[in-house]
C-alpha cells in the first residue's frame, strides 16, 4: 500500500478501522523519507525516534478510545521558521543554525493537542525571504516533478514534501505568496488564511503586518481539516482576530451555482505564460459549466503591488531583524573589537545575501529623506490596493487567476536577477497586502509536465467560499489525484 499517497482523511480512515497503527504509519513515512528525500532535500531536521515514541503514545490513547480527532496520528511536518520547543528551529539561516526555542508556537501546541505526529522541520528560503528555496543556508529543495527545477519558495520544503508523500500535511508561512507559489509549482494545495485568523505567536517574524501561517496538503479537504485546528483567537498574538471561526469542513460542498467569480484582466495578460493562461481559462469554463457566474474585470492596482509589497516587507523586516545581535541567541562572531563591531560582524557573517539585501533596502526606505517617498507612499498605495479589492468584492465572491505567471523555473535561472525573482510574486502579494485569504489548487500541467496552480482570493474571513469553489473544482476535475513519479 502506497501509504504516502494517501490524504489525511484516508490515513485517518485506516487508523480508525485499525488497518494500520500510528507506529506503522509513522514508520512508513520515515521509510519513504529515507528512500526519496536525498533527491529532494525537503527536510532540515528529522525526528525519527521522537516521532515513533509519540506514535506509540498516540496509539495507546487510541486503544483507550481517545485521540479521535481528524488529525490524530496523522504525520505532519513544520516549516523551520515555526518554533518547536526543544527542537532546532533554524529558519534555514546560519544566524539561527543552532537555535533551540524554549517554547512551542501556538499552532504547534494546537496540533500536538490533536495528537498529530511531528516528523521533522522543513527547508525554506532563509528567514522566508525568497521565491525558490535557493536562499536556504543549508540546501536547495528540488521540485519532485523535475529535480532540475525549484520547488518554489519560501515554503519549498513544505510543498515538495507534500507532493512527494514525505508527510501527511505541512504547516508553512506566507508573507508574499510563500505557501501558494510553492504549492502551485509542486502541484499541491496551499492556503493562506485571512490575516489575524491564525496566531503568529512562535512564527519567526519577517514582516509583521503581512506574515500568516497556513497549510499545505494534498487536497482541499485536508486543508480544511488543518484550518479547523490552527485558526482561532490567541491572546499571545496582539494581531489575532477575535471573530467566530467556523467548522471549515462545512464548506466542502460540490455546488457553485450562483457564485460570482471575477477574473482580473491584468492576471491573464502578457505577463503570464500562455500555457498557464490556457489552464486558468479552462478552469473558468469548468466553473461556468458548474453554474458559477464568471467574468473578467479590471484590478488597476495590480502593477503597483510588487513595489508596495517589497517596500513594506523590507522595511518591516529591517526593523524585525534588529533582534539578531549575537547577544541573547543565535550566531555570534568570534572576532570583534567592540560592541558595534560585534553587531556588524555577527550580522554580516550570520545573514545570507538576500537577507542583507532586504535589510539594506528596508533601512533605506525608512531612512531620513526617503521615508515619505517610499515607506509612507507604499502604505498609501496599500490603502488603494485594499480599496481595489473592496470594490471587486462588491460584485464578486471570489477573485480568480493564475497563482504564478510561469510554472517552476530551473534552479539557478533567476539567481542573478533579484528583480526578476520578485516579479514572479505579482499575483500573490496583493492578498498579503490587503490581508485577504487566498489559496492555490492544481489546475493542470504544461507541456513539460509541470503543475499549474489556480489561485482564488476571497473576502476577509470568507475562507469557506474559497474552500467551496476549490472543492467543487477538485471533485469535477481530479488534478489533485495525479501524483509525481519520484522513485528511489
Name the residue nearer to other proteins (CB basis): 49 or 368.
368
* Residue from 9, 460, 468, 480 binding other proteins (CB under 8 A): 460
* Residue from 34, 113, 147, 360 binding other proteins (CB under 8 A): 360
Instruction: Decide if residue 475 touches other proteins (CB under 8 A).
Output: no
Instruction: Decide if residue 127 touches other proteins (CB under 8 A).
Output: no
Q: Min. distance of Cβ 81 from other proteins in angstroms? A: 16
Name the residue nearer to other proteins (CB basis): 66 or 420.
420
Q: What is the total count of residues that contact other proteins (CB under 8 A)?
A: 69
Q: Min. distance of Cβ 323 from other proteins in angstroms? A: 11
Q: Is 178 annotated as catalytic?
A: yes
* Residue from 70, 359, 450, 467 binding other proteins (CB under 8 A): 359
Interface pattern 179-198 for other proteins (x via CB under 8 A): ----------------xx--
Stretch that binds other proteins, among 48-56, 213-221, 282-290, 341-349 (CB under 8 A): 341-349
Instruction: Decide if residue 379 touches other proteins (CB under 8 A).
Output: yes
Stretch that binds other proteins, among 28-36, 51-59, 160-168, 358-366 (CB under 8 A): 358-366
Instruction: Decide if residue 384 touches other proteins (CB under 8 A).
Output: yes
3-state secondary structure the chain: CCHHHCCHHHHHHHHHCCCCCHHHHHHHHHHHHHHHHHHHCCEEEECHHHHHHHHHHHHHHHHCCCCCCCCCCCEEEEECCECECCECCCCCCHHHCCCCCCCCCHHHHHHHHCCCEEEEEECCCHHHCCCCCCCCCCCCCEECCEEEEECCCCCHHHHHHHHCCCCCEEEEEECCCHHHHHHHHHCCEEEECCCCCECCCCECCCCCCCCEEEEEECCHHHHHHHHHHHECCCCCCCCCCCCCCCCHHHHCCCCCCCCEEEEEHHHHCCCCCHHHHHHHHHHHHHHHHCCCEEEEECCHHHHHHHHHHHHHHHHHHHHHHHHCCCCCCCCCCCCCCCHHHHHHHHHHHHCCHHHHHHHHHHHHHHCCCCCHHHHHHHHHHHHHHHHHHHHHHHHCCEEEEECCCCCCCECCCCCCCHHHHHHCCCCCHHHHHHCCCEEEEEEEECCCCCEEEEEEEECCCCHHHHHHHHHHHHHCCCHHHCCCCCCC
Instruction: Decide if residue 449 touches other proteins (CB under 8 A).
Output: no
Q: Is 39 annotated as catalytic?
A: no
Instruction: Decide if residue 437 touches other proteins (CB under 8 A).
Output: no
Instruction: Decide if residue 367 touches other proteins (CB under 8 A).
Output: yes
Instruction: Decide if residue 371 touches other proteins (CB under 8 A).
Output: no
Instruction: Decide if residue 65 touches other proteins (CB under 8 A).
Output: no
Stretch that binds other proteins, among 7-15, 334-342, 439-447, 462-470 (CB under 8 A): 334-342
Q: Which residues are identified as catalytic? A: 79, 154, 178
Residues of the shown chain interacting with other proteins in the complex, contacts defined by CB under 8 A: 98-100, 102-103, 195-196, 209, 235, 238-239, 241, 303-304, 306-308, 310-311, 318, 322, 325-332, 336, 338-340, 342-345, 347-348, 351, 353, 356-357, 359-364, 367, 373-374, 376-384, 386, 418-419, 422, 433-435, 460
Amino acid at each position: 500500500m502506497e501509504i504516502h499517497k494517501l490524504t489525511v482523511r484516508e490515513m485517518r480512515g485506516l487508523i480508525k478501522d485499525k488497518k494500520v497503527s500510528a507506529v506503522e504509519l509513522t514508520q512508513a513515512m520515515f521509510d519513504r523519507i529515507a528512500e526519496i528525500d536525498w533527491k529532494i532535500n525537503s527536510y532540515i531536521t528529522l525526528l525519527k525516534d521522537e516521532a515513533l515514541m509519540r506514535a506509540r503514545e498516540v496509539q495507546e490513547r487510541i486503544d483507550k478510545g481517545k485521540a479521535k480527532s481528524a488529525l490524530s496520528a496523522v504525520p505532519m511536518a513544520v516549516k523551520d521558521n515555526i518554533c518547536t520547543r526543544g527542537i532546532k528551529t533554524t529558519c534555514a539561516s546560519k544566524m539561527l543554525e543552532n537555535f533551540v526555542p524554549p517554547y512551542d508556537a501556538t499552532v504547534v501546541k494546537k496540533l500536538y493537542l490533536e495528537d498529530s505526529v511531528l516528523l521533522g522541520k522543513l527547508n525554506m528560503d532563509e528567514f522566508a525571504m525568497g521565491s525558490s528555496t535557493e536562499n536556504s543556508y543549508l540546501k536547495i529543495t528540488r521540485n519532485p516533478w523535475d529535480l532540475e527545477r525549484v520547488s518554489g519558495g519560501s515554503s519549498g520544503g513544505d510543498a515538495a514534501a507534500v507532493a512527494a508523500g514525505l508527510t501527511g500535511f505541512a504547516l508553512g508561512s506566507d508573507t508574499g505568496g510563500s505557501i501558494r507559489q510553492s504549492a502551485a509549482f509542486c502541484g499541491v494545495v496551499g492556503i493562506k488564511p485571512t490575516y489575524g485568523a491564525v496566531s503568529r505567536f512562535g512564527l519567526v517574524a519577517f514582516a509583521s503586518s503581512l506574515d500568516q501561517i497556513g497549510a499545505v496538503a494534498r487536497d482541499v479537504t485536508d486543508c480544511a481539516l488543518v484550518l479547523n485546528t490552527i485558526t482561532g483567537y490567541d491572546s499571545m498574538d496582539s494581531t489575532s482576530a477575535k471573530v467566530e471561526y467556523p467548522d471549515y469542513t462545512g464548506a466542502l460542498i460540490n455546488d457553485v451555482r450562483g457564485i460570482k467569480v471575477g477574473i482580473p484582466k491584468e492576471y491573464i495578460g502578457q505577463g503570464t505564460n500562455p500555457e498557464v493562461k490556457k489552464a486558468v481559462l479552462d478552469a473558468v469554463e469548468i466553473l461556468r459549466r458548474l453554474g458559477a457566474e464568471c467574468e473578467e474585470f479590471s484590478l488597476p492596482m495590480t502593477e503597483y503591488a510588487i513595489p508596495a509589497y517589497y517596500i513594506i516587507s523590507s522595511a518591516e523586516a529591517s526593523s524585525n531583524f534588529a533582534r539578531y545581535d549575537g547577544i541573547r541567541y543565535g550566531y555570534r562572531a568570534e572576532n570583534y573589537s567592540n560592541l558595534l563591531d560585534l553587531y556588524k560582524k555577527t550580522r554580516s557573517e550570520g545573514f545570507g545575501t538576500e537577507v542583507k539585501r532586504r535589510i539594506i533596502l528596508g533601512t533605506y526606505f525608512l531612512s531620513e529623506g526617503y521615508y515619505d517617498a517610499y515607506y509612507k507612499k507604499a502604505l498609501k498605495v496599500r490603502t488603494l490596493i485594499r480599496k481595489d479589492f473592496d470594490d471587486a468584492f462588491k460584485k464578486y465572491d471570489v477573485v480568480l487567476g493564475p497563482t504564478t505567471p510561469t510554472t517552476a523555473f530551473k534552479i539557478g535561472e533567476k539567481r542573478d536577477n533579484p528583480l526578476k525573482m520578485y516579479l514572479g510574486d505579482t499575483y500573490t502579494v496583493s492578498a498579503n497586502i490587503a490581508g485577504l485569504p487566498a489559496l492555490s489548487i492544481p489546475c493542470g500541467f504544461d507541456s513539460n509536465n509541470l503543475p499549474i496552480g489556480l489561485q482564488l482570493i476571497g473576502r476577509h474571513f470568507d475562507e469557506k467560499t474559497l474552500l467551496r469553489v476549490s472543492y467543487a473544482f477538485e471533485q469535477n476535475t481530479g488534478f489533485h489525484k495525479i501524483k509525481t513519479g519520484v522513485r528511489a
